[in-house]
Amino acid sequence: MMMRGNEEKGMTFIVKTVTKLTLGFILLYGIFVGLNGHLAPGGGFSGGVIIALSLVHVMLAFGKETALKRLRPTFLRVCACAGALLFIFIVMTGLGKRAHGFLGNEIVIPVSEMLIVGFGLFAIFIALVLMTKTDGQTG
Amino acid sequence: MIEIHLILIFMIAAAIIAVAVKDLLSSVVAIGAVGIGLCMAFLVLRAPDLAMLQLVVEILSLIILIRATIRKDLPFSASGRWAFNTACTLLFLSVFLTAASIALKNMPQFGSPLMKVSKVYLDEAVPKTGALNVVAAIMLNFRALDTLGEATAVFAAVVGILAIARKRPRKDDDAR
């Protein structure tokens, strides 16, 4: 494999610049869709998928190495597991109802769902990409 | 109503193309066309939540299919045992069509569902929860345990795929 500079990995310069500009907006839109599920169309699942799409966007534009340097797979797994634990804690203890039903359910459940779906789906994407790479080398 | 039928015909044609075409990339694009058709059907049926969810999930699955699995050459053997395969296909088709024709006679008419449980939800969702979006109100309050099951299914899928597609072996397998 040829040694290349860090600038030449991923897509072209134009795509990288546009990604830098739009990444924050896509991430913000995902959080907006997730947290505003009770007022507008959307919900925790849609918001989580949009967050995962923004991370996939970075990975497609900048290449594997640059994205994995910032977002370690261990961090993604910890986030997804934290979301699952938060969700089951809220449901099992019934704390959502006690907090007047509004802050409890409409905020905590979408947040935990966004954590599970967003980071979990991106972790799946990373796992599949890395798996194809190792398969190409060995077989 | 005519829009639904047009979209359904488009989706069925795209699904047939996805199965029949030889190129793997074309097949993936045809599957994406099926998903976009489903998204438009949700929009026509006035379900923007589902349409948005279907759109984003479709984009993500399309990216995963193209980026992560398109390089694998999936061998597909169409030769051999064609008589058995055709007989099985015809048998299951007849069984499913017969069961569906019996079951669908007892279903309520399209667009007029049974409103025994959902009427209570629709009436009480907005005053009881304060959420303007009735879908989210039902999902997060009356059906919160259902949402828990959905999130559990997603989390189980994530953990399962991460366990299968892990790069390094476990510590027990290091000795080999």
Contacts of B81 (CB under 8 A, 6+ apart): none
Is the ipTM higher than 0.85? The answer is: no
Q: Which of A93, A55, B165 is nearest to A85 (CA)?
A: A93
The residue in chain A having the minimum alpha-carbon distance to the alpha carbon of residue B137 is A38
Please compute the mean of the pLDDT values over residues A71-77 and round it to a whole number.
82
The residue in chain A having the minimum alpha-carbon distance to the alpha carbon of residue B64 is A125
Q: Which residue has the higher pLDDT, B147 or B87?
A: B87
Q: How confident is the model at residue B71 (pLDDT cuts 50, 70, 90)?
A: low
Q: Of chain B residues 26-65, which have a CB less than 8 A from chain A?
A: 48-49, 51-53, 56-57, 59-60, 63-64
pTM of this structure: 0.79
Contacts of A96 in chain B (CB under 8 A): 144
Q: Which residue has the higher pLDDT, B39 or A6?
A: B39
Least confident of A10-19, A97-106, A127-136, B46-55: A97-106
> Residue ranges of the domains in chain A?
11-134
Write down the mean pLDDT value for chain A: 78
Write down the mean pLDDT value for chain B: 82
- Rounded Cα distance, A17 and A77, in Å: 29
> Residue ranges of the domains in chain B?
1-72, 113-176
Contacts of A89 (CB under 8 A, 6+ apart): A95
Q: What is the pLDDT of residues B33-48, one digit of tens each?
A: 999 999 999 999 888 8
- Rounded Cα distance, A25 and A23, in Å: 5
